[in-house]
Structure 1
Amino acid sequence: MKRVSMRKISEVLRLHFKLGLSLRQSANATGTSRGSVSNYCTRFKELAVDIDRFLSLNEMMQEQLFYPECGCGITPQASKVMPDYITIHHELKKKQQSKVTLALLHEEYKEAHPTNAYSYTQFREHYVRFLNQINPSMRQVHIAGEKVFVDYSGLTIPIVNQKTGEVYKAQIFVAVLGASGYTFVHASYSQKQRDFILSHVLAYDFFGGTPKIVVPDNLKSAVIKHSKKEGVVINESYAALARHYTMAVTPARPYKPKDKAKVELGVKGIQRWILARLRHHTFFSVDELNAALSNLLDLYNHKIIKRIAKSRTELFKELDQPFLQALPLQRYLYKEFKEATVAQNYHIFLEGCEYSVPYQYLGLRVQVWHSSHSVDIHYKGTKIAIHPKLHFVGQVSTLHEHMPSHHQYQSEKTNPGRFLNWANTIGAHTLS
């Protein structure tokens, strides 16, 4: 069958993906059948290539991407044994630990089939063809135990306040391990940092360990800035979470969909197989919603992936689980971060309250970590003060040892307890 010119296919893709024309409109504009247009668009989606990048290539390069089997001159031969590329693909995911290469796997394949094995060139080309038959996230060779991808679903679930009837939109957090696709999902009332970090902590508990790298999208709760000029600036609270779990943060690059293909497919799977099933349910709290999500999540992770013939749970136990880092002894306790300048009264201001620091730090810039229970104040990495968290505007927490000596004297001089102790030395009637 005669192949359509790459120029026409490129124009179809430009109209549909660049200009947003429908399949029918693109077909009419190019004189191509709607079925062919649908096939071109489906094939292009599987490439996981940015449309602008694709259009910038010449026709020969576009054709090599679009028809990777073209020009290889290889067809399956009855006299040769086709390698088990599913097993080979899984072996390559473990290459960081086992140092295995495609060349070594070919040598082992030849040893097993000395008289009817493909050459290395054919072996490699058939593997490339195998990769182009599976989805974009599986196509990437993610190293076992190396990465977890995190993002929020665009779809939300309504939560009804039984007392007022007010409806809240629960946000759906999704975490996907790179090698296995093993997935965690958690609902919260917002995407704010406190909820965002709690979802991570629960995900790591669910996995029973942590990979080396977390790949978030460019949410403000994770990334303050991500540009070529200034580089990546990670939110300090999110960086502290990563340090606690001995992880690195490598955000997905803006406008690079391939960087987050794994989690985007995970989000789609969660939307289709879990959130869609809950569309007729009414929930009155996120706890109730999370209980329902948990039950469906087990079914989702146990679902067999047709092209791989294994479930995400099986892949997790085989690939990611053996290489995850052990969890720390204590869960991460969420703390917010801010910087403050020590005022003339050797106190810093935080949420309408004042907390003292040693007077020697007067006028200096300090780092403040605060939770619902405590306030820790640091200067250049050294903790210089700790206070219980105050909860009412106007309250002041002053430690005696933070005062200059003349302030300590004045404080003791005007301390009511000091007068009571003095009266008690005279007698009970004086004290009363």
Structure 2
Amino acid sequence: MQEEQLVYGLKKKDELSWIHCHNLAFKFLGGIPAVIRPDNVKTAVIKGQGPKGTLNRIYQNYARDLGFHINPARAGYATDKGKAEAKVKLVKRKLSFEGVEVKSIEGLQAFSDETLKKEMMRLTCPSTGKSVYETLIEERKSLRPLPSEMPEPFDIIVTRKVHNDCLVNFEGHSYSVPFQYVGSFVQVRGCAGKVKIFKDQKLIATHPRHTERLLVIDQSHYEGKSTKDVASPEKLGKVTRALLECFDIPVEKRAVKVYEKLVEVIG
């Protein structure tokens, strides 16, 4: 699928933006191609170039989630990305902003989407004889279907062992996971404002990221029946539970009633 033209405007060129752009592109295409051929940017290849280069681990895990193969372009081989380079030049010529007033990233996106869609409807695909846009619609049948939910962009990924207290350490914080995973190794991803924890590519916990509180606990992770390998934790008493509920609310947002309830429980 080398005839399609898509452009996305973002404020950064970091890993979060790289993954976000892929999500947008796959939604536009209507599916997941079997192979993606990126250039040798650090968000894709951290060392070397081409198929022998060392892939960025974050990008590699993202590709594994969606089921596509990464085949980086070789430096100096025009055949590896010749059409893509030509499309870049074409897009630069077509996206003329002369006389166009754009006040936001969203406005820029809407303008480029409309301009390039018209161009794809005008151009003919050499292999099908139909317009590039009509060919795109037909080629969607050959793509892997999109998942019900696209992976959330992330800029950090690590493997951590779940301690006996159901916690994993990440970025100086401790986050809880369901007690059934005690002793297991899990994958922790740092997303935009969130920490997501996976086991065997299954999401098992989500927490807010970069909180002032260093201990972030979801009390439901300590509830449930024992498994053959892990015993369920002892249930919390009323006082401990009330304290945790109080701590879940920032000091500046705690109403007097919160403290009144705490005093009532303590007796």
TM class by shorter chain equals: 0.5 to 0.7
In the aligned structure 2, how far is the partner of 1:296 from the partner of 1:200? 20
Distance 1:368 1:306 in 2: 43
Question: Residue type of the partner of 1:220?
Answer: K
State the one-letter code of the partner of 2:19.
I
Distance in 1 of aligned mates of 2:93 and 2:151: 32
Q: CA deviation at 1:270?
A: 0.5
Instruction: Note if contact 1:335-1:370 (Cα within 8 Å) is conserved in structure 2.
Output: yes
| 8 Å contact from structure 1 (residues 356, 385) kept in 2 | no
Letter of the aligned partner of 1:388 in structure 2? H
Deviation at 1:307, TM superposition (A): 7.9
The equivalent of 2:37 in structure 1 is 215
Q: Which residue, 105, 111, 119 being the options, matches 1:292?
A: 111
More helix by share: 1
Counterpart amino acid of 1:297? L
Q: Tell me if structure 1 keeps the 8 A contact 2:159–2:186.
A: yes
Residue 64 of structure 2 corresponds to residue 239 of structure 1: no
Q: 2: CA distance between counterparts of 1:226 and 1:284?
A: 40
Deviation at 1:344, TM superposition (A): 8.5
Q: What does 1:339-418 correspond to in 2, within 5 Å?
A: 339=158, 347-356=167-176, 361=183, 367-371=187-191, 372-376=193-197, 378=199, 381=200, 386-398=205-217, 401=222, 415=240, 417=242
Pairing of 1:17-28 with structure 2 (within 5 A): none
Cα shift readout 1:318-352 (whole Å, capped 9, x = no counterpart):
6x344233222223322344226569896444344
Q: What letter corresponds to residue 215 of structure 2 in structure 1?
A: V
Which structure is richer in relative contact order (CA contacts within 8 A, separation 6 or more)?
2
Aligned pairs for 1:191-340 (under 5 A) are: 191-227=13-49, 231-274=52-95, 277-279=96-98, 281-305=100-124, 311-317=131-137, 320-339=139-158
Letter in 2 for 1:313: Y
Shift of 1:384: 10
Supply the distance in 2 between the matched residues of 1:390 and 1:307 (Cα, whole angstroms).
49
Q: C-alpha distance in 2, partners of 1:317/1:182?
A: 11
Q: Secondary structure at the match of 1:187?
A: coil
Aligned partner letter, 2:196: V
RMSD: 4.0
The 8 Å contact of residues 32 and 143 in structure 2, kept in 1 or not, is answered as: yes
- CA-to-partner distance for each residue in 1:114-166, whole Å, 9 max, x for gaps? xxxxxxxxxxxxxxxxxxxxxxxxxxxxxxxxxxxxxxxxxxxxxxxxxxxxx
Percent identical across equivalent pairs?
Answer: 24
CA shift in 2, pair 1:269/1:324, >3 Å: same
Quick check: which has more Rg, 1 or 2? 1
Structure 2, unaligned stretches of length 5 or more?
Answer: 224-229, 244-263
What is residue 5 of structure 1 aligned with on the other side?
none
SS at match of 1:339: strand
Q: Do the aligned residues in 2 keep the contact of 1:353 with 1:393 (CA within 8 Å)?
A: no
The aligned length equals: 233
CA distance in 1, matches of 2:123, 2:97: 21
2:62, 2:41 → 1: CA distance? 15
Tell me the amino acid that sits aligned with residue 367 of structure 1: Q
**Counterpart amino acid of 2:4?**
Y
Q: Normalising to structure 1: TM-score of the pair? A: 0.45
Distance between the aligned counterparts of 2:202 and 2:28, measured in 1? Answer: 33
- Indicate conservation of the 8 Å contact 1:186/1:290, yes or no: yes
In 1, Cα distance between equivalents of 2:42 and 2:94: 28
Give the whole-Å Cα distance in 1 for the aligned partners of 2:234 and 2:8. 51
Q: With the length of structure 2 as denominator, give the TM-score of the two structures.
A: 0.68
Q: Identify if the C-alpha distance between structure 1 residues 279 and 222 changes in structure 2 by more than 3 Å, giving closer, same or farther.
A: farther
Structure 1 stretches lacking a partner, 5+ long:
1-176, 419-428
Distance in 2, matches of 1:355 and 1:366, equals 12
Shift of 1:317: 4.5
Deviation string, structure 1 residues 17-48 (Cα, Å, up to 9, x no partner): xxxxxxxxxxxxxxxxxxxxxxxxxxxxxxxx
Distance 1:203 1:234 in 2: 20
* 3-state SS in 2 of match to 1:376: strand
Cα pair distance change 1:384/1:252, threshold 3 Å: closer
Letter in 1 for 2:69: A
